[in-house]
Structure 1
């Protein structure tokens, strides 16, 4: 990663502001940035905006042979992509440490927590199962990538519909959406990641750090939890030692934030379902604010043009008595209002 380091003045300013319980965007210590969830025209496509952080998640499926160790279970696969469009620090076609961390955390949060009924993805035991693939694309990086990625992934999985199938012996028939309605996935719970940044050896704590705050933090604690207050995964990085009381405090804060985010996801899914059922317009284009672009008007101020022609002729003909004609012209036009 080609990360541009912060200057000592910026670091000192950020740490000083954190000590005074102030943040760059005006938030309080435990405040989350605004979250916006938008679904695409196809099932399983979702964009999440967490402040200026934007993440796109796309879910797809295909029939594949199952794993030998689990012949009656479907397969979950996660893939995260960091595009140079999201941040100058991301290099194309290169596997960075951040990319590996995001992939592993998503797998622990969603796959290892058994939030999806993988046995319902089995078509023919030992022969055919559904493989659910979740592609997460980071569109803009402004901190808390794992939080935004987990929200986008679980929202896209909840929105996704797989084709209906029927099996006769070893023959499998996949039906199109026109023939049979697609089937949603069986989701038990919604695990969501909440990030906590620690500063000055754990003396100060911030929820949902932005990109600049992440640069000066000493450590990061990520807790994945569902609305039932069940911890699905927990990960600490940065090399700082956290006390038991600090971890318990973060878990209590995470339970509140997860409940709020889960309610927001449920509301967004309900609105999308209602619009589709009523035959309204939906998708990313429809979610954009309707701003009417009109012709720009230029403000014009009155300009005093009295005796301008006569004065200009006097200067050109050399009849002006002033010994500094250019200075006179500058002084005269200085009274004009443009």
Structure 2
């Protein structure tokens, strides 16, 4: 069975005193995130990504196949996200049994990406009512150090932008289709309507006066931290997850229990998150662009361009 991790009273007191002094134990600012690093975009397989976010590590694989659409949505393709968390990531997770935290992680990522229509489902239609593309994202968490939601959302969106589906030809008046090999025809990228980015804020009541906060009389003693690591996550009094895109649109807000949050503070958090969202979105675009250029140079695809010297 999964094991819970307890924090001693001395560790908790030391952590709270550090927050009162404006210091995080990991050395970051209160509003500073752990930017993704060691990002690997596969050259052999479109849609496979491995990346690290602090000590967090995930792998994402996007796959596709052709199937019949749902009867009530004949003009739309099918898009699914599967999250897998087991004890390899952390001892707090149990194999074969989803805890409340695992269900929350899976649902927030699905709500932020799939239910926000970040992927254009109509572009996945091949023959209306007969054949559509089924896009499946398999998200595997390999190592846990707090805040799986942010890295999961970033990884899935990066993999979707990296993925390309095989090109097809429709023959016999729409009765049959030919799926071309990626070595025969250049595969086609997915149509991404917008790029959602999740940011998780954890709140701490440094006075331990929970009753005052529940009555809504004062929240001036509450401190928030962006992108908490494992120990910070264990000591939190509450959290809120904000999902935005570069268009300044709030995709979803999720607050699951904990201390109340003032409405004005929520607005300030959303405005302060815009800069981080822009940076992460630009990072995705740069990674995809650099990967495409590297592949273009290594395979010498310039020779395939019209007017190229041969």
TM-score range, shorter-chain basis? 0.7 to 0.9
Aligned to 1:258: 277
Mapping of residues 267-278 of structure 1, within 5 Å: 267-278=286-297
CA shift, 1:83, in A, is 2.4
CA shift, 1:69, in A, is 1.6
Deviation per CA, 1:191-246: give whole Å up to 9, x if none.
01001011006510111111110101011111111111111111012332211111
Aligned to 2:187: 182
3-state SS of 1:60 partner: strand
Where does the alignment leave 5 or more consecutive residues of structure 2 unmatched?
Answer: 206-212, 214-218, 300-310
3-state SS of 2:106 partner: helix
Deviation per CA, 1:3-27: give whole Å up to 9, x if none.
2211111122222212221112100
Where does the alignment leave 5 or more consecutive residues of structure 1 unmatched?
Answer: 281-338
Aligned equivalents of 2:71, 2:105: Cα separation in 1: 27
Deviation per CA, 1:154-191: give whole Å up to 9, x if none.
00000000011122332122111122111000112110
The two structures have a TM-score, normalised by structure 1, of: 0.80
Aligned equivalents of 1:34, 1:193: Cα separation in 2: 13
What is the root-mean-square deviation of aligned Cα atoms in Å?
1.3
Aligned to 1:45: 48
Mapping of residues 1-338 of structure 1, within 5 Å: 1-36=2-37, 37-41=39-43, 42-168=45-171, 169-200=174-205, 203-279=222-298
Highest Rg: 1 or 2? 1
CA shift, 1:79, in A, is 0.6
Q: Report if aligned partners of 1:199, 1:218 keep a CA contact under 8 Å in 2.
A: yes
3-state SS of 1:238 partner: strand
Q: Report if aligned partners of 2:239, 2:258 keep a CA contact under 8 Å in 1.
A: no
Moved over 3 A (4+): none
3-state SS of 2:96 partner: coil
Give the paired residue count. 280
Aligned equivalents of 2:246, 2:296: Cα separation in 1: 28
3-state SS of 1:180 partner: coil
Aligned equivalents of 1:226, 1:55: Cα separation in 2: 22
